[in-house]
Amino acid sequence: MRSSPAWSNYSNRELAALELKQRRYLKPLDYFTPSPGQIPFFRGRERFKMLRGPNQSGKTMAGAAELIYRMLGSHPYQKVPPAGGHFRVITYSWDQSRTVSRKIWELLPKELLHPDTKYHPDRGFMYHQFRLTTGSFCEIFTTQQGALANASATLDGIWVDEPPPIELWSELCARIMAKRGNLWLTLTP
């Protein structure tokens, strides 16, 4: 491809920059570098863990990275179950779900997206869910849907972005018990 006439107009440096841009698009998680404040969160081996911090401190990005590591079955800071699990993200509102979806999209390895997964920058994931070719599946719910919307699911992991009502928290804890799954919370105090 580089030998075609169109590519001969670029310098080696420009070609390298284009190649790096393509790699960053296909495997963005490879280029994610946690901040010093995020490292203890990623290293935490507890089934229930939390990352608190001020606005714009990277909590949502860290929550998205944790989700994707677990969906891939490969975590740089700890041993996790193999890929193929069922996950859920809980956001405060549908408006917030678009922001969370964008953070997930920014880190998702595009080559591992299942062909049925569709994403729109303004609306998020189609049907508020996405699937990877590894067999992992994730749904995005809101706290406004209530505890009943989460009843009967058996999940491998749940990420809650901002604190949920207590009755929803209790239901979410029950959803991960059968598989001894994980639940992590990202929030602004």
The pTM (predicted TM-score) of the whole model is 0.89
- Tell me the per-residue pLDDT of 44-62, one tens digit each, with 9 for 90 and over: 999 999 999 988 889 999 9
The strand pair at 137-142 and 129-131 is best described as: antiparallel
Confidence check: pLDDT of 26 > 90:
no
Radius of gyration for the chain, computed over Cα atoms and rounded to the nearest angstrom: 18
- Residues 176 and 148: their CA atoms lie apart, in Å, by 15
Q: Which of 127, 122, 84, 121 is nearest to 106 (CA)?
A: 121
- Residues 107 and 50: their CA atoms lie apart, in Å, by 20
